[in-house]
């Protein structure tokens, strides 16, 4: 080779990129309820999936300030400011902001004011946090307002086959809201902290999956037409729960056990107010959001009760037979100011 006649590159010749940096990409994706589609990139994705695996390492990909528009049967999901790193074809990091949107599935709907997603991976598993600000969400007579939810997933493993995804994980869901209503009950300042094991999700004709869950639920008050319970705390457990989405919205079918306590529960007996305190309730039954009665089972309740001294004296004086005898009337009057209530096997 000479200066005027340089040595040509040897053949065959090919470039093998080790690192790719993508700045401000814009992606339009679609999920039709069964498969994830990449729009104009579908032929490229299918070609990559069909290629036989080789020892040639995939390039590291760095995405900066990305934006994604994902259309789904439930509504449009938009993410912006996305930062991501992929190494050897695996997601290692993802950070993005979620825009406000409205989602709907059958009778279920949710209006979100925004959120964030943060994911980290090690090449085998993923872990991430999803935070959502919910303006309002509900289905039927269930209504959730002004909620902040934070879900953490660990040990996330996924497989992608023909555009359908299967996911397994364990996680934790924490949240608080201004109000929640269901079945005529009005819950003020509810909070929840649930731990999930054996969490599974599969995309197909519908989204479906299962889980085991245990955790705490609390509320400042729970009110109905008859009374208002104060300082409510419940421990909940679901084992072998199944969920799915469809034309009717979100369906949950699961065994449920609850142990609940309340600081106070005022009631009325005729015109006399009755104060219950130290209330404890145990529930064992089932939740099926598609059933005519969504929650069914047996309830056991115990509590301390008592009428005011004036009301106790009035009730004792009006009691048949006992109220006519001084000794019996006074004994009944004292008993009515403090007693124990037990109501087993309520359905």
| Contact by Cβ (8 Å): 179, 187 | yes
User: What pLDDT score was predicted for residue 36?
Assistant: 74
Q: Judging by beta carbons within 10 Å of its beta carbon (0-12, 13-18, 19+), is residue 40 exposed, middle or buried?
A: exposed
Angle between helices 326-337 and 309-318 (to 10 degrees): 140
Distance from C-alpha of 188 to C-alpha of 342, rounded to nearest angstrom: 27
Which residues are CB-contacts of 73 (< 8 A; sequence separation ≥ 6)?
31, 32, 33, 105
Written as six digits, the tokens of 82 are 């996305």
User: What pLDDT score was predicted for residue 183?
Assistant: 79
Asked whether the bond before 12 is cis by omega within 30 degrees of 0, the reply is: yes
Written as six digits, the tokens of 177 are 């809201």
Distance from C-alpha of 337 to C-alpha of 305, rounded to nearest angstrom: 8
pLDDT means per 10 residues in the chain (347 residues)? 54 69 89 74 59 70 92 94 88 95 92 97 93 95 95 91 82 97 92 96 85 97 89 96 85 95 86 88 93 90 91 85 75 89 87
User: What pLDDT score was predicted for residue 49?
Assistant: 55
């Amino acid at each position: 080779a000479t200066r005027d006649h340089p040595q040509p590159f040897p053949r065959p010749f090919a470039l093998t990129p080790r690192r790719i940096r993508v700045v401000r990409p814009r992606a339009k994706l679609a999920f039709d309820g069964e498969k994830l589609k990449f729009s104009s990139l579908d032929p490229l994705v299918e070609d990559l999936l069909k290629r036989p695996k080789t020892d040639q390492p995939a390039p590291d990909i760095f995405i900066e300030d990305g934006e994604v528009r994902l259309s789904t049967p439930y509504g449009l999901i938009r993410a912006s400011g996305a930062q991501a790193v992929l190494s050897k074809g695996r997601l290692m990091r993802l950070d993005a902001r979620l825009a406000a949107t409205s989602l709907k599935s059958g009778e279920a709907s949710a209006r979100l004011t925004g959120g964030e997603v943060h994911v980290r991976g090690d090449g085998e598993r993923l872990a991430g946090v999803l935070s959502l600000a919910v303006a309002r969400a509900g289905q039927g007579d269930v209504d959730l307002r002004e909620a902040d939810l934070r879900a953490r997933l660990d040990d996330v493993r996924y497989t992608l086959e023909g555009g359908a995804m299967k996911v397994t994980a364990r996680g934790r869901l924490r949240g608080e809201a201004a109000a929640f209503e269901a079945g005529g009950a009005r819950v003020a300042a509810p909070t929840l902290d649930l731990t999930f094991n054996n969490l599974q999700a599969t995309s197909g004709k519908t989204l479906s999956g299962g889980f085991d869950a245990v955790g705490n639920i609390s509320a400042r008050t729970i009110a109905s037409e008859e009374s208002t319970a104060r300082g409510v705390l419940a421990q909940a457990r679901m084992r072998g729960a199944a969920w799915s989405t469809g034309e009717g919205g979100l369906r949950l079918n699961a065994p449920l056990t609850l142990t609940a306590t309340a600081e106070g529960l005022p009631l009325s007996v005729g015109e006399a107010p009755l104060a219950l305190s130290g209330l404890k309730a145990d529930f064992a039954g089932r939740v099926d959001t598609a059933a005519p009665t969504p929650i069914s089972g047996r309830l056991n309740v115990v509590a301390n009760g008592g009428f005011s001294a004036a009301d106790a004296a009035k009730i004792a004086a009006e009691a048949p037979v006992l109220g006519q005898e001084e000794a019996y009337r006074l004994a009944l009057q004292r008993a009515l100011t403090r007693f124990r209530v037990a109501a087993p096997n309520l359905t």
